[in-house]
Amino acid sequence: MKYLLFSTILIAHLQDYTTILSLSAPDIQRMTQLSINDVRLLKKTVAQKIHRIPCTTALQIYKKLGPSELCRDKLTLGCPYLDSFLRGGILSQMLTEISGESASGKTQLCLQLCLTVQLPKQLGGLEGGAVYICTEDVFPNKRLSQMVTLLKKSADHVKVKSIKFTDNIFIEHAAEIVSDLISDKISHNRQCKVIPALGISWANHISVRLMLTRTNHKMPIHQKNEKGDVIGSLDLPIRNMEVLFAPHLPPSSCKYIVDQDGVKGLPS
C-alpha cells in the first residue's frame, strides 16, 4: 500500500515537502487520483517528518542555550570598546552595511573584519574566511600584511600565530561595476551630509546600518619601539561610528581612531 501510494505521488511530480503541504487536499486528490483518506494520511505523514524548532524562551536565546537556528554568533571587531558598543560585535546571518565619507576608516574596518573572522570562536571569531570585493584600482596588500604582522605579534593565543590569514581572504575586483555608492545631501541648515545611495531596494535587505564620519578633533598617540620605549607622538584624527538602525541596538555613536594596528574604539 505504501509503495503504491508513493509511486502515485512521484508520478504526480510531488517530490518535496513544501509542495505537498502548500497544496490543498482536493488539489492533491485531483493530481494523484487518491482517496481523500489517503491524501489526509499523506499530509499528516509529511508534516510529522518536517523538522520543528522547539519552544524557546528569549533568555535561552540570549544565553545561546536554544536551537542553533535561533542562536546567532557575533563577529568581534578586534577591539573591546567597539564590541561593547555593538553588544558583542557584528551579527552573523544578517546583512550589515558600513558606509561613510572618504577617509572615515571604512577600508580599515573591512580589512580588520577579514582578519577577525578567521580567529577561533573563543576569541570572538568564526573560524572562517572572507571574500573582499575591491571597488578600487588597487587592493591595499601592504596595509593588510602590516595588520597581519602586528596581529600575530600581539596575539597571546597559540592558534592565532599559526593562522595563515592571507590564504583565507579571496579578493575580487569589481571597480567597473560599483560606482557612486554614496552621495551628498544638503540639509535645511546648508550642511553637507553623506548618505548611502544604493536605493530603497538595497536598504530593505540590510538589517544593520553603520555610518562612519570624520571629526575635527585629534588625539595624540605615543609611538613606541619594539622595546616599548616612547620614540615620538602622532596626532590621529578622531572618527565617529553611528548606529543608524539595527534590530538589537538603539541609535547611538562611538568615537574611534585608526592607528598602525587598525581600528580602535575610544572609551565613552
> What mean pLDDT is predicted for residues 37-54?
80
Q: What are phi and psi of 122, to 5 degrees?
A: -70, -15
Measure CA 161 to chain center: 24
In this structure, whether the domain defined by 58-265 belongs to CATH 3.40.50.300 is answered with yes
Q: What is the pLDDT of residues 94-135, one digit of tens each?
A: 899 999 888 899 999 999 999 999 999 999 999 999 999 888
Count CB-CB contacts under 10 A for residue 89: 22
Could you give the 3-state DSSP secondary structure of residue 7? helix
First to last CA, the chain: 71
C-alpha–C-alpha distance, residues 236 and 144, integer Å: 20
**Cell numbers for 17:** 515537502
C-alpha–C-alpha distance, residues 98 and 148, integer Å: 22
Q: What is the pLDDT of residues 163-221, one digit of tens each?
A: 999 999 999 887 554 444 555 454 445 455 677 767 677 778 899 999 999 988 988 87
Domain boundaries defined on the chain: 2-49, 58-265
Q: What is the structure's pLDDT at 159?
A: 86
pTM, two decimals, is: 0.70
185 class by beta-carbon count within 10 Å (0-12 exposed, 13-18 middle, 19+ buried): exposed
Model confidence at 52: pLDDT above 90 = no
